[in-house]
Amino acid sequence: MDKRGIGVFDSGLGGLTVLKEIKKILPNEDLVYFGDTARVPYGPRSKETIMKYTFQAINFLLTKDVKAIVIACNTATARSLVEAQEKYDIPIIGVIEAGARTAAASTKNGKVGIIGTEGTIKSKAYNAEIKKIDKRIKVYGKACSLFVPIVEEGWANTEVARLTAKEYLKELEEKDVDSIVLGCTHYPLLKRTIGEEVGMEVKLVNPARETAIDLKNILIEKNLLNTKEELGECNYFVSDINEKFPSIAREFLKSKIEVEKVEIQRY
Protein backbone atom coordinates (compact mmCIF):
# COMPACT_ATOMS: atom_id res chain seq x y z
CA MET A 1 0.00 0.00 0.00
CA ASP A 2 1.22 3.49 -0.91
CA LYS A 3 -0.36 6.23 1.19
CA ARG A 4 1.11 9.13 -0.81
CA GLY A 5 -1.34 11.33 -2.69
CA ILE A 6 -2.04 11.93 -6.36
CA GLY A 7 -1.39 15.31 -7.98
CA VAL A 8 -3.88 16.82 -10.43
CA PHE A 9 -2.94 19.90 -12.43
CA ASP A 10 -4.92 22.19 -14.75
CA SER A 11 -4.70 25.71 -16.10
CA GLY A 12 -7.71 26.72 -14.00
CA LEU A 13 -10.80 25.10 -12.51
CA GLY A 14 -11.56 22.81 -15.47
CA GLY A 15 -9.42 20.02 -14.07
CA LEU A 16 -11.96 19.63 -11.29
CA THR A 17 -13.98 17.62 -13.83
CA VAL A 18 -11.13 15.10 -13.87
CA LEU A 19 -10.62 15.25 -10.11
CA LYS A 20 -14.33 14.48 -9.62
CA GLU A 21 -14.02 11.29 -11.69
CA ILE A 22 -10.82 10.26 -9.88
CA LYS A 23 -12.66 10.61 -6.56
CA LYS A 24 -15.36 8.24 -7.87
CA ILE A 25 -12.93 5.64 -9.25
CA LEU A 26 -10.33 5.93 -6.47
CA PRO A 27 -12.27 7.13 -3.40
CA ASN A 28 -9.56 6.13 -0.92
CA GLU A 29 -6.79 8.15 -2.52
CA ASP A 30 -5.66 11.54 -1.19
CA LEU A 31 -5.62 14.18 -3.94
CA VAL A 32 -3.71 17.43 -4.37
CA TYR A 33 -5.18 19.81 -6.94
CA PHE A 34 -3.36 22.77 -8.48
CA GLY A 35 -5.11 25.24 -10.77
CA ASP A 36 -2.94 27.84 -12.49
CA THR A 37 -5.63 30.49 -12.26
CA ALA A 38 -3.20 33.40 -12.57
CA ARG A 39 -2.19 32.33 -16.08
CA VAL A 40 -5.35 30.76 -17.50
CA PRO A 41 -6.04 30.23 -20.41
CA TYR A 42 -3.14 28.20 -21.80
CA GLY A 43 -4.62 27.79 -25.28
CA PRO A 44 -3.02 30.75 -27.09
CA ARG A 45 0.44 30.31 -25.51
CA SER A 46 3.56 28.85 -27.11
CA LYS A 47 4.76 25.30 -26.54
CA GLU A 48 7.81 26.62 -24.66
CA THR A 49 5.66 28.67 -22.28
CA ILE A 50 3.26 25.80 -21.65
CA MET A 51 6.16 23.44 -20.94
CA LYS A 52 7.54 25.97 -18.44
CA TYR A 53 4.17 26.26 -16.70
CA THR A 54 3.70 22.48 -16.68
CA PHE A 55 7.12 21.84 -15.14
CA GLN A 56 6.48 24.49 -12.47
CA ALA A 57 3.18 22.81 -11.59
CA ILE A 58 4.82 19.39 -11.41
CA ASN A 59 7.67 20.75 -9.28
CA PHE A 60 5.11 22.18 -6.86
CA LEU A 61 3.10 18.95 -6.69
CA LEU A 62 6.25 16.98 -5.98
CA THR A 63 6.76 19.05 -2.82
CA LYS A 64 3.49 17.45 -1.62
CA ASP A 65 5.07 13.99 -1.97
CA VAL A 66 2.66 12.75 -4.64
CA LYS A 67 3.15 9.31 -6.20
CA ALA A 68 1.55 10.08 -9.58
CA ILE A 69 0.42 13.14 -11.52
CA VAL A 70 -2.49 13.71 -13.88
CA ILE A 71 -2.11 16.60 -16.31
CA ALA A 72 -5.82 17.41 -16.40
CA CYS A 73 -5.40 19.99 -19.13
CA ASN A 74 -5.70 19.14 -22.80
CA THR A 75 -3.41 21.94 -23.95
CA ALA A 76 -0.68 21.01 -21.46
CA THR A 77 -1.11 17.33 -22.36
CA ALA A 78 -0.77 18.09 -26.07
CA ARG A 79 2.23 20.39 -25.68
CA SER A 80 4.24 18.95 -22.78
CA LEU A 81 3.19 15.43 -21.69
CA VAL A 82 5.97 13.59 -23.53
CA GLU A 83 8.63 15.98 -22.22
CA ALA A 84 7.27 15.73 -18.67
CA GLN A 85 7.31 11.92 -18.79
CA GLU A 86 10.93 12.02 -19.94
CA LYS A 87 11.96 14.59 -17.32
CA TYR A 88 10.39 13.14 -14.16
CA ASP A 89 10.74 9.71 -12.57
CA ILE A 90 7.08 9.41 -11.57
CA PRO A 91 3.96 8.18 -13.42
CA ILE A 92 2.47 11.12 -15.34
CA ILE A 93 -0.59 10.80 -17.57
CA GLY A 94 -2.66 13.21 -19.62
CA VAL A 95 -6.24 13.27 -20.87
CA ILE A 96 -5.94 13.05 -24.65
CA GLU A 97 -5.28 9.34 -25.15
CA ALA A 98 -8.30 8.39 -23.05
CA GLY A 99 -10.54 10.86 -24.88
CA ALA A 100 -9.40 9.64 -28.29
CA ARG A 101 -10.04 6.03 -27.34
CA THR A 102 -13.55 6.82 -26.14
CA ALA A 103 -14.37 8.87 -29.25
CA ALA A 104 -13.18 6.15 -31.61
CA ALA A 105 -15.36 3.62 -29.81
CA SER A 106 -18.45 5.85 -29.72
CA THR A 107 -18.73 7.05 -33.33
CA LYS A 108 -21.14 5.21 -35.59
CA ASN A 109 -20.65 7.14 -38.84
CA GLY A 110 -16.88 7.60 -38.53
CA LYS A 111 -17.05 11.39 -38.15
CA VAL A 112 -15.69 12.84 -34.91
CA GLY A 113 -15.50 16.47 -33.87
CA ILE A 114 -12.89 17.82 -31.46
CA ILE A 115 -13.50 21.08 -29.63
CA GLY A 116 -10.72 22.59 -27.56
CA THR A 117 -8.42 25.52 -27.07
CA GLU A 118 -6.42 26.93 -29.94
CA GLY A 119 -3.30 25.14 -28.67
CA THR A 120 -4.99 21.73 -28.47
CA ILE A 121 -6.59 21.99 -31.90
CA LYS A 122 -3.41 23.23 -33.59
CA SER A 123 -1.41 20.38 -32.07
CA LYS A 124 -3.68 17.81 -33.79
CA ALA A 125 -2.92 15.52 -30.85
CA TYR A 126 -6.44 14.07 -30.83
CA ASN A 127 -6.31 13.50 -34.58
CA ALA A 128 -3.09 11.53 -34.24
CA GLU A 129 -4.39 9.38 -31.37
CA ILE A 130 -7.70 8.62 -33.10
CA LYS A 131 -5.92 7.73 -36.36
CA LYS A 132 -3.75 5.26 -34.42
CA ILE A 133 -6.95 3.45 -33.46
CA ASP A 134 -8.81 3.67 -36.79
CA LYS A 135 -7.42 5.43 -39.85
CA ARG A 136 -10.86 5.50 -41.46
CA ILE A 137 -12.30 7.93 -38.89
CA LYS A 138 -12.58 11.51 -40.11
CA VAL A 139 -11.63 14.03 -37.46
CA TYR A 140 -12.69 17.68 -37.52
CA GLY A 141 -11.22 20.15 -35.05
CA LYS A 142 -12.73 23.44 -33.92
CA ALA A 143 -11.02 25.88 -31.57
CA CYS A 144 -13.50 27.36 -29.07
CA SER A 145 -11.31 29.89 -27.32
CA LEU A 146 -14.10 31.78 -25.53
CA PHE A 147 -15.43 28.71 -23.71
CA VAL A 148 -12.71 28.78 -21.03
CA PRO A 149 -13.26 32.39 -19.92
CA ILE A 150 -17.03 31.81 -20.04
CA VAL A 151 -16.67 28.92 -17.58
CA GLU A 152 -14.17 30.80 -15.42
CA GLU A 153 -16.65 33.69 -15.20
CA GLY A 154 -19.39 31.34 -14.03
CA TRP A 155 -21.48 31.84 -17.18
CA ALA A 156 -21.70 28.17 -18.25
CA ASN A 157 -25.50 28.01 -18.47
CA THR A 158 -26.29 31.51 -19.68
CA GLU A 159 -27.49 33.03 -22.94
CA VAL A 160 -23.90 34.18 -23.56
CA ALA A 161 -22.75 30.56 -23.49
CA ARG A 162 -25.63 29.40 -25.69
CA LEU A 163 -25.00 31.98 -28.41
CA THR A 164 -21.25 31.30 -28.33
CA ALA A 165 -21.85 27.54 -28.63
CA LYS A 166 -24.24 28.06 -31.53
CA GLU A 167 -21.61 30.04 -33.45
CA TYR A 168 -18.73 27.65 -32.73
CA LEU A 169 -20.57 24.37 -33.30
CA LYS A 170 -22.40 25.07 -36.56
CA GLU A 171 -19.24 24.12 -38.48
CA LEU A 172 -19.14 20.66 -36.89
CA GLU A 173 -22.89 20.21 -37.35
CA GLU A 174 -22.41 20.85 -41.07
CA LYS A 175 -19.81 18.04 -41.12
CA ASP A 176 -22.45 15.65 -39.71
CA VAL A 177 -20.28 14.48 -36.79
CA ASP A 178 -22.00 12.03 -34.45
CA SER A 179 -19.48 12.38 -31.60
CA ILE A 180 -17.81 15.47 -30.17
CA VAL A 181 -14.87 15.27 -27.80
CA LEU A 182 -14.96 17.88 -25.06
CA GLY A 183 -11.25 18.47 -25.60
CA CYS A 184 -10.74 20.85 -22.71
CA THR A 185 -11.40 20.02 -19.07
CA HIS A 186 -13.47 23.19 -18.73
CA TYR A 187 -15.95 22.06 -21.37
CA PRO A 188 -17.88 19.41 -19.36
CA LEU A 189 -19.17 22.36 -17.35
CA LEU A 190 -20.79 23.48 -20.63
CA LYS A 191 -22.17 20.03 -21.44
CA ARG A 192 -25.81 21.01 -21.03
CA THR A 193 -25.43 24.08 -23.25
CA ILE A 194 -23.46 22.20 -25.90
CA GLY A 195 -25.86 19.26 -25.80
CA GLU A 196 -28.88 21.51 -26.34
CA GLU A 197 -27.17 23.00 -29.39
CA VAL A 198 -26.08 19.79 -31.16
CA GLY A 199 -28.99 17.57 -30.09
CA MET A 200 -29.31 14.22 -28.35
CA GLU A 201 -28.17 12.23 -31.40
CA VAL A 202 -24.62 13.59 -31.02
CA LYS A 203 -22.58 11.92 -28.26
CA LEU A 204 -20.50 14.26 -26.11
CA VAL A 205 -17.29 12.54 -25.04
CA ASN A 206 -15.81 13.56 -21.70
CA PRO A 207 -12.27 12.13 -21.37
CA ALA A 208 -12.29 12.56 -17.57
CA ARG A 209 -13.76 9.17 -16.62
CA GLU A 210 -11.49 7.18 -18.94
CA THR A 211 -8.50 9.14 -17.61
CA ALA A 212 -9.44 8.15 -14.05
CA ILE A 213 -9.69 4.50 -15.13
CA ASP A 214 -6.28 4.72 -16.81
CA LEU A 215 -4.85 6.16 -13.58
CA LYS A 216 -6.27 3.32 -11.52
CA ASN A 217 -4.78 0.73 -13.88
CA ILE A 218 -1.35 2.37 -13.65
CA LEU A 219 -1.49 2.44 -9.84
CA ILE A 220 -2.43 -1.25 -9.79
CA GLU A 221 0.32 -2.13 -12.25
CA LYS A 222 2.95 -0.28 -10.21
CA ASN A 223 1.59 -1.45 -6.85
CA LEU A 224 0.85 2.12 -5.76
CA LEU A 225 -2.79 1.84 -4.70
CA ASN A 226 -3.84 3.18 -1.32
CA THR A 227 -5.96 0.41 0.20
CA LYS A 228 -7.03 2.25 3.35
CA GLU A 229 -10.74 1.97 4.15
CA GLU A 230 -11.50 5.63 4.87
CA LEU A 231 -12.20 8.17 2.13
CA GLY A 232 -9.27 10.20 0.83
CA GLU A 233 -8.78 13.91 1.47
CA CYS A 234 -8.47 16.65 -1.15
CA ASN A 235 -6.31 19.75 -0.90
CA TYR A 236 -6.72 22.61 -3.35
CA PHE A 237 -4.11 25.13 -4.47
CA VAL A 238 -4.21 27.94 -7.04
CA SER A 239 -1.77 30.52 -8.35
CA ASP A 240 -4.29 33.33 -7.85
CA ILE A 241 -7.30 33.40 -5.56
CA ASN A 242 -10.46 35.07 -6.76
CA GLU A 243 -14.03 34.88 -5.51
CA LYS A 244 -15.22 32.85 -8.49
CA PHE A 245 -12.97 29.81 -8.12
CA PRO A 246 -14.18 28.52 -4.74
CA SER A 247 -17.83 29.32 -5.50
CA ILE A 248 -17.81 27.58 -8.90
CA ALA A 249 -15.79 24.70 -7.49
CA ARG A 250 -18.25 24.24 -4.64
CA GLU A 251 -21.16 24.26 -7.07
CA PHE A 252 -19.54 21.60 -9.24
CA LEU A 253 -18.14 19.33 -6.51
CA LYS A 254 -21.21 19.79 -4.27
CA SER A 255 -19.01 20.38 -1.24
CA LYS A 256 -17.27 23.29 0.45
CA ILE A 257 -13.57 23.58 -0.28
CA GLU A 258 -10.68 25.58 1.12
CA VAL A 259 -8.24 27.05 -1.39
CA GLU A 260 -4.65 28.10 -0.75
CA LYS A 261 -2.58 30.41 -2.95
CA VAL A 262 0.83 29.28 -4.24
CA GLU A 263 3.62 31.48 -5.61
CA ILE A 264 4.05 29.16 -8.55
CA GLN A 265 6.91 31.18 -10.10
CA ARG A 266 9.14 29.95 -7.27
CA TYR A 267 9.00 26.44 -8.68
Residue ranges of the annotated binding site for substrate are: 10-11, 42-43, 74-75, 185-186
Q: Strand 68-71 to strand 92-93: parallel, antiparallel, or no bridges (unpaired)?
A: parallel
234 is catalytic: no
Active-site entry in 73, 98, 144, 194: 73
Is 73 annotated in the active site? yes
CA distances from 128 to 81, 93, 101, 151 (A): 15, 17, 11, 28
Q: Which of 180, 184, 212, 264 is catalytic?
A: 184
Give the catalytic positions in this structure.
73, 184
